[in-house]
Amino acid sequence: MVSRILVAMDDSEMAAEALRHALDAHGDAEITVLAVVGEPSQLMGRATAIATADDPRRKAEEIAAPVLDRARKIADEHGREITTSVGYGAPAREIVNRAEEFDAVVIGSHGGTLRDRLIVGDVAKTVVNRSPVPVTVVR
């Protein structure tokens, strides 16, 4: 029985659909939504703000706040409560590392821009290949 589900969420519509699926398909499960804020890299992007912040964890939470607010709104629309969490680092690695605490992972098939997917890689594919628990990919 699936009683604890990790839903990986970014600001994409596919991630929102993944959360809706988890809420609909697993009515009795505890759902935790994880928003991962990227680690500093050569590509930088939003990670620059984290790398230069006095308190990187606090800045990561600030950047993740709109994603988690959206997740709470979706859960409210389904009459459900969720737990939220912020991860820091490479999204696929962070999702896989946390997955062992859950019975299953639900993730959108892709997120971000085409450029992000081409440069950063396919997070969903990596999670499917490395997760210690079953993964549902929502398209």
Q: Which architecture, in CATH terms, is 4-138?
A: 3-Layer(aba) Sandwich (3.40)
Residue 95 pLDDT = 97
Per-domain residue ranges of the chain: 4-138
Q: Using the predicted structure, report yes or no on whether residue 119 has a pLDDT greater than 80.
A: no
What's the mean per-residue pLDDT of the chain? 87
Chain segment 73-103, per-residue pLDDT in tens: 999 999 999 999 999 888 999 999 999 999 9
Chain segment 12-29, per-residue pLDDT in tens: 899 999 999 999 999 999
Q: What is the dihedral of CA 38, 43, 47, 48, to 10 degrees?
A: 170
- pTM for the model: 0.87
Q: Using the predicted structure, report yes or no on whether residue 116 has a pLDDT greater than 80.
A: no
Phi and psi at 93, nearest 5°, equal -65, -45
